């Protein structure tokens, strides 16, 4: 278990690692227009598992085209986008021990558990380093019950920049708006932004001063704490300098921020902020944690009264509750695609250069051994990825192989991700990327 001191260091060091690259001189606001590679990637992680029957068209048992297939009711919102969809069944993650959740292991491809710190970087962070650089290479947002989002506005369960270095999710849209767009706001939001900025500046100064009086053995560890504040303050300053550009993309603040009726009001505006961060060029990698990588979560705004752990004990196929949740997710995916499709980029649109990865942080169901880990991909990044198809794998390759594929697509010459030869001999029947995914 992570103790309080470790978690405090993780807050600053982990967040600092996520921001650190963006503080270097010469980083531009928007992504570059290099061709032939993805320019941005989005991971959408739903908790409680992703049952393959909620995404595989009825009667499809072998790989084939989706052109004449009808998508199942839970993902029917994606029907108009079938030519951009790739449904993958038969990857595994048994080595991650997902059970209730693999936590950091879901995107790290390693053993994970509740309260256990990450043992290495996760794929979203690794991709954020090699994709065209932006002010904030990686942004993670987490959706949960309104109570959990208010009492724990930041939490780290899914993303990490390295061993013991978690990246925190933002769950309070008011805090996230202030961080991203507070410098261009007016009225109370601007006052709160300035007040928080002054406090963080003072903490950085005090922390740096106090750190000098520590024993040498503790100074390096404490330095990570100080660096976290430096990075946060540096990001704020750089965002402030881009105010004129950001003003075009900032979402309108309404009562859903300050007076949410349901948790889905905050889910919706968090998604708006994530999309705005992408379209404005603030970030190139967005991770969405619906349920925040745990076994909780609530969707009362959809008419679902049950919440949390009990949802995972319900069969997902033909379940009206899970149909509502999965349809809600699918509509979110459509919102992302439609927005990115509306923004020109190069000779096409932002969506032409974007990949969306939709899956769960605990494979196919809540209580699982991870033997089957369904995934949906949306987008082909100008022909890099196969789309409009269903692929049935034999269960002998791990989710790490998919992550290797994503790194290859981004230009990295790697054969494995977070899996040494000894682990691979036991859990991976192949090497290199998934040929079934790349065009």
Q: Quick one: pLDDT at residue 204?
A: 52
Count CB atoms within 10 A of the CB of residue 30: 17
Q: Which CATH number fits domain 4-427: 1.10.10, 3.10.450, 3.40.720, 1.10.150?
A: 3.40.720
CA gyration radius, the chain: 21
Asked if residue 405 lies in contact with residue 437, where contact means CB atoms within 8 angstroms, the answer is yes
Q: Per the structure block, which two tokens stand in for 260? A: 């949410």
Residues above pLDDT 90, as percent of the chain = 71
pLDDT at residue 16 tops 60: no
* This prediction's pTM: 0.86
165-170: strand order across its sheet: 64-65, 389-392, 85-89, 375-378, 354-360, 40-46, 285-290, 138-143, 165-170, 154-162
pLDDT at residue 33 tops 70: no
Task: Point out the least confidently predicted range of 34-38, 64-68, 164-168.
Answer: 34-38
Q: Quick one: pLDDT at residue 352?
A: 97
pLDDT at residue 203 tops 60: no
Over range 77-82, report the average pLDDT. Answer: 98
Over range 399-428, report the average pLDDT. Answer: 97
Q: Give which of 152, 141, 145 is closest to 262, Cα–Cα.
A: 145
Residues in the chain, total = 439
Q: Quick one: pLDDT at residue 310?
A: 87
Q: Quick one: pLDDT at residue 159?
A: 97
Residues 6+ apart with CB under 8 A from 287: 42, 43, 45, 107, 124, 138, 139, 140, 141, 158, 159, 169
Comparing 438 with 19, the larger pLDDT belongs to 438
pLDDT at residue 246 tops 90: no
Confidence of residue 308 (pLDDT cuts 50, 70, 90): confident
Q: Per the structure block, which two tokens stand in for 68? A: 């004449």
Q: Classify strands 138-143 and 64-65 as parallel, antiparallel or unpaired.
A: unpaired
Comparing 128 with 214, the larger pLDDT belongs to 128
- How many helices and strands (H and E) does the chain possess? 13, 12
Comparing 171 with 8, the larger pLDDT belongs to 171
Q: Quick one: pLDDT at residue 102?
A: 97
Q: Quick one: pLDDT at residue 32?
A: 41
Burial code of 61-91, b = ≥16 C-beta within 10 A, e = fewer? eeeeebeebebbebbebbeebbebbbbbbbb
- Separation in Å, CA 375 to CA 32, 108, 139, 201, 356: 28, 15, 21, 43, 10
Which segments of 304-374 are extended strands (E)? 344-345, 348-349, 354-360
pLDDT at residue 360 tops 60: yes
């Amino acid at each position: 278990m992570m103790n309080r001191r470790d978690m405090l260091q993780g807050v600053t060091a982990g967040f600092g690692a996520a921001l650190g690259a963006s503080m270097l001189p010469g980083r531009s606001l928007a992504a570059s227009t290099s061709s032939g590679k993805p320019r941005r990637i989005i991971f959408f992680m739903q908790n409680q598992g992703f049952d393959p029957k909620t995404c595989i068209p009825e009667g499809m048992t072998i790989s084939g085209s989706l052109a004449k297939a009808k998508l199942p009711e839970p993902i029917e919102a994606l029907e108009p986008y079938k030519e951009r969809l790739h449904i993958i069944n038969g990857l595994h993650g048994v080595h991650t021990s997902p059970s209730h959740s693999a936590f950091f292991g879901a995107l790290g491809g390693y053993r994970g558990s509740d309260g256990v710190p990450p043992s290495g970087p996760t794929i979203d962070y690794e991709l954020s380093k090699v994709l065209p650089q932006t002010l904030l290479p990686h942004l993670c947002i987490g959706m949960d019950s309104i109570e959990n989002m208010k009492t724990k506005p930041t939490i780290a369960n899914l993303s990490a920049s390295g061993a013991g270095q978690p990246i925190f999710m933002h769950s309070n849209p008011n805090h996230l708006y202030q961080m991203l767009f507070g410098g261009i706001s007016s009225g109370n939001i601007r006052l709160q932004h300035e007040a928080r900025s002054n406090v963080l500046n003072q903490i950085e100064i005090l922390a740096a001063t106090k750190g000098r009086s520590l024993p040498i053995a503790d100074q390096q560890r404490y330095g990570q704490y100080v660096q976290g504040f430096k990075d946060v303050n540096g990001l704020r300053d750089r965002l402030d300098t881009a105010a004129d550009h950001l003003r075009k993309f900032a979402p309108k603040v309404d009562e859903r921020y300050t007076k949410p009726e349901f948790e889905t009001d905050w889910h919706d505006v968090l998604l708006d902020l994530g999309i705005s961060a992408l379209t404005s060029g603030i970030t190139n990698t967005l991770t969405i944690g619906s349920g925040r990588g745990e076994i909780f979560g609530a969707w009362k705004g959809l008419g679902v009264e049950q919440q949390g752990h009990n949802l995972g004990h319900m069969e997902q196929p033909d379940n009206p509750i899970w149909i509502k949740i999965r349809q809600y997710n699918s509509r979110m995916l459509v919102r992302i695609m439609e927005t990115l499709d509306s923004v020109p980029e190069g000779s096409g649109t932002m969506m032409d250069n974007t990949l969306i990865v939709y899956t769960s942080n605990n494979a196919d169901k809540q209580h699982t051994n991870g033997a089957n880990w369904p995934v949906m991909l949306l987008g082909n990044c100008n022909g890099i990825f196969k789309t409009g198809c269903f692929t049935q794998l034999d269960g002998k390759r791990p989710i790490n192989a998919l992550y290797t594929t994503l790194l290859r697509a981004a230009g990295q010459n790697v054969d494995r991700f977070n899996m040494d030869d000894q682990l691979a001999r036991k859990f991976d029947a192949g090497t290199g990327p998934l040929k079934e995914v790349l065009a």
